[in-house]
């Protein structure tokens, strides 16, 4: 048997005694006695073997230690990551509920859109991916980084984070085409809010936007996430809980590049509820058309239910702008517009009511026994009260309450104001809802101003808690420290029409996605204001006289086919002595124009208010618009009955 190793002559059975050369040559100059079997060589070889063995043992120990850390210490963490590499949980946002008018015509709906989302754990190179996406989307990489960092709060790394919404279809194709090159980038379909009528009823609808950190912290926990779209204004905000629905969830298996292989579990989203409004779209459209190019508001109420048939504010805005991503320039254009298009003048802005307030003076005079419907006053064109001469709009001669309302005689109400106390006047105004919010289901409603005892005591200098008798004379024609909103005056007119104060409301019913009515919108109970039917009839008779085709100040609102009643108002902004004739003044110093009306007078169904900011005379600027809208209401009703 042969051996492998250095050759020894004595070990060979066929040795002839001749000396053979060794297999390995020694180095030149090395001593002849140094061989591979020498102690020096063996020692060196053993040392090297031991070092190699130590290195191998150390490497094995390190590997074992690493396996121990992976499989024991961090087992749960890496098990979760491993599962998430195979599984992905996708939040499926619910479509918002629809909003329709009283005739089921759509006012707010949804449309298909596409979002770009990032799954952070699947990114090969975050910076390179964001650089590429920024170029495709036409934004800066820093903008995408900021969105990703802001929206990822509370979202696990394996769940998508939306960084761009509602992108063009062409961009969807461009991103999908390079999905293998840039893993972790997803296209997510979504329902986007859409207002099919554009600007119509914008102040009623409001608009939607991305949830902010404060809302996320204070709203229902677990229901919302960063990036969710929620109501910001109008009915969208007030009824957010009903409209938003509940998100669904999909658990899927994906391959190495993120493509869906199989759906493991699916919880479908629960769509938001549908709101059916009291609003009549056709009346709303006509009201807004009448306000085109003006600043002002129109409100029409159903006097028996408080349902809002029309609520228009001008100028207005397009809520679709907020449903998509818009530029800073677009936002600045809206918010810096001096015409304040986002301001709902129907319920947020308060103005002196002018001669509209004479209706409250009439109630105060009748209820306190100062006058009767037959009481007369002789108007000579003006009079002196507390050493100050106050003029009327004409010389009316002998007028009763009916003709004083119909012809808006200042002198009649000056005389009444001289006999009534401020407290008596304010008590009646409060019974009719002035000086307080009506309770409509919209946010940011104004209260207006009434000179109550509390207001007088807290008013700043130079008043110092004093009220002067001459101020009551101004109050009697709706001037001085008194402001009302158009909605308040609409409620007041409806209360006069029926004797019962109702709460204006916009939402009639709420239905789930299956079309089943789940609730009536909550609303306050009507309040009987204890107004004598005899006194109420006398005031309504005066409102009918105002639409007399010859003598009435509201004659431009009249329609011979229908029984309209009304009252005009011209609220002074600046005195003629200070600002000159009305026609020569700059717009901001011109008077405000008012009209309030009811119809039919004998059996009222509707109440209407038209307000034109700096519009001049109420009889000229406001009354004709009201007449057109009231006519449209009755013609529409008659057409529906045929």
In tens, the pLDDT along 245-289 reads: 888 877 777 665 556 667 777 788 889 999 999 999 999 999 999
Residue 571 forms part of a structural domain: yes
| Strand, coil or helix: 395 | coil
Q: What is the pLDDT at residue 434?
A: 98
263 and 345 both lie in a single domain = no
User: Looking at the predicted structure, is the pLDDT value of residue 325 above 70?
Assistant: no
Lowest-confidence region among 22-26, 161-165, 225-229, 334-338 = 22-26
Distance CA 385, CA 527 (A): 37
228 and 285 both lie in a single domain = no
Average pLDDT on 228-240 reads 93
> Which pLDDT band holds residue 621 (cuts at 50, 70, 90)?
very high
271 and 285 both lie in a single domain = no
455 and 583 both lie in a single domain = yes
420 and 443 both lie in a single domain = yes
The whole domain housing 360 covers 281-641
Average pLDDT on 299-315 reads 97
355 labelled catalytic: yes
Q: What is the pLDDT at residue 254?
A: 67
Distance CA 175, CA 164 (A): 12
Catalytic residue (one of 313, 349, 355, 617): 355
Q: Are strands 274-277 and 99-100 parallel, antiparallel or unpaired?
A: parallel
311 and 197 both lie in a single domain = no
User: Looking at the predicted structure, is the pLDDT value of residue 100 above 60?
Assistant: yes
The total of structural domains in the chain comes to 2
**How much of the chain, in percent, has pLDDT values that exceed 70?**
89
For position 269, which CATH number holds? Answer: 3.90.1310.10
265 and 382 both lie in a single domain = no
Report yes or no: 594 and 571 within 8 Å, Cβ to Cβ: yes
Question: H-helix or E-strand containing 483?
Answer: none
Report yes or no: 628 and 581 within 8 Å, Cβ to Cβ: no
Residue 546 forms part of a structural domain: yes
394 and 534 both lie in a single domain = yes
Q: What is the pLDDT at residue 520?
A: 67
C-alpha closest to that of 618 among 575, 568, 581: 568
For position 372, which CATH number holds? Answer: 3.40.710.10
Q: What is the pLDDT at residue 527?
A: 92
Instruction: Show the DSSP H helices in 259-327 as ranges.
Output: 281-290, 320-323
138 and 271 both lie in a single domain = yes
272 and 296 both lie in a single domain = no
472 and 532 both lie in a single domain = yes
> pTM for the full model?
0.81
Q: Which of 277, 300, 318 is the last residue of a domain?
A: 277
Distance CA 34, CA 122 (A): 63
170 and 286 both lie in a single domain = no
Residue 320 forms part of a structural domain: yes
268, two tokens: 């479908």
Q: What is the pLDDT at residue 18?
A: 46
In tens, the pLDDT along 15-74 reads: 444 444 444 445 555 555 445 567 777 777 888 888 888 888 888 888 888 888 877 777
Q: Which of 248, 277, 306 is the last residue of a domain?
A: 277
């Amino acid at each position: 048997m042969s051996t492998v190793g250095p050759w020894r002559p004595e070990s060979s059975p066929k040795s002839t005694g001749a000396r053979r050369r060794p297999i390995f040559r020694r180095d030149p100059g090395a001593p002849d006695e140094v061989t591979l079997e020498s102690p020096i060589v063996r020692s060196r070889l053993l040392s090297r073997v031991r070092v190699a063995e130590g290195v191998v043992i150390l490497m094995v120990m390190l590997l074992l230690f690493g396996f121990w850390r992976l499989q024991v210490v961090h087992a749960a963490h890496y098990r979760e990551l491993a599962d998430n590499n195979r599984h992905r949980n996708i939040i499926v946002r619910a479509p918002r509920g629809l909003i329709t008018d009283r005739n089921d015509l759509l006012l707010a709906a949804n449309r298909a859109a596409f979002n770009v989302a990032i799954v952070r754990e699947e990114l090969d190179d975050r910076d390179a991916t964001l650089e590429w996406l920024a170029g495709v989307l036409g934004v800066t990489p820093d903008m995408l980084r900021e969105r990703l960092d802001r929206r990822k709060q509370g979202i696990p790394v394996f769940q998508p984070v939306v960084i761009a919404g509602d992108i063009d279809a062409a961009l969807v194709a461009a991103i999908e085409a390079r999905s293998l090159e840039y893993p972790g980038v997803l296209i997510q379909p979504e329902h986007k809010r859409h207002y099919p009528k554009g600007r119509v009823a914008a102040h009623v609808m409001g608009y939607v936007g991305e949830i902010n950190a404060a809302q996320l912290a204070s709203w229902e926990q677990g229901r919302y996430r960063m990036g969710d779209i929620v109501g910001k204004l109008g009915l969208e905000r007030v009824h957010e809980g009903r409209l938003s629905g509940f998100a669904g969830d999909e658990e899927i298996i994906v391959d190495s590049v993120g493509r869906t292989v199989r759906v493991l579990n699916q919880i479908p989203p629960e769509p938001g509820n549908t709101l059916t409004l009291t609003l009549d779209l056709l009346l709303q459209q006509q009201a807004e058309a009448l306000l085109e190019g003006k600043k002002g508001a129109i409100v029409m109420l159903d006097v028996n239910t408080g349902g809002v048939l029309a609520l228009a504010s001008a100028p207005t805005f397009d809520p679709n702008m907020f449903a998509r991503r818009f530029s800073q320039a677009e936002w600045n254009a809206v918010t810096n517009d001096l015409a304040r298009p986002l301001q709902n003048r129907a319920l947020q802005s308060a103005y002196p009511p002018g001669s509209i307030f004479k209706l409250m003076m009439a109630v105060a005079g009748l209820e306190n026994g100062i006058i009767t419907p037959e009481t007369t006053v002789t108007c000579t064109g003006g009079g002196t009260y507390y050493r100050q001469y106050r003029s009327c709009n004409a010389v009316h001669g002998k007028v009763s309450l009916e003709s004083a309302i119909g012809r808006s005689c200042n002198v009649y109400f000056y005389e009444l104001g001289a006999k009534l106390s401020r407290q008596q006047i304010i008590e009646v105004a409060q019974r009719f809802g002035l000086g307080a919010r009506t309770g409509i289901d919209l946010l940011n409603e104004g209260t207006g101003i009434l000179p109550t005892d509390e207001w007088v005591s807290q008013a700043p200098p130079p008043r110092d808690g004093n009220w002067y008798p001459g101020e009551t004379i101004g109050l009697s024609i709706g001037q001085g420290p008194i402001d009302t909103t158009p909605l308040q005056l609409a409620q007041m007119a409806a209360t006069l029409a029926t004797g019962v104060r109702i709460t204006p409301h916009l939402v009639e019913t709420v239905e789930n996605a299956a079309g089943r009515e789940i609730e009536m919108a909550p609303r306050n109970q009507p309040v009987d204001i204890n107004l004598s039917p005899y006194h109420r009839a006398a005031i309504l008779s005066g409102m009918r006289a105002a639409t007399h085709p010859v003598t009435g100040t509201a004659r431009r609102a009249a329609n011979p086919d229908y029984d309209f009643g009304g009252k005009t108002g011209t609220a002074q902004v600046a005195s003629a002595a200070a600002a000159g004739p009305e026609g020569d003044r700059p717009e901001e110093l011109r008077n405000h124009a008012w009209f309030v009306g009811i119809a039919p007078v004998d059996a009222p169904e509707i109440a209407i208010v038209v307000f034109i900011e700096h519009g001049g005379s109420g009889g000229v600027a406001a009354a004709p618009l009201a007449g057109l809208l009231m006519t449209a209401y009755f013609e529409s009703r008659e057409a529906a009955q045929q």
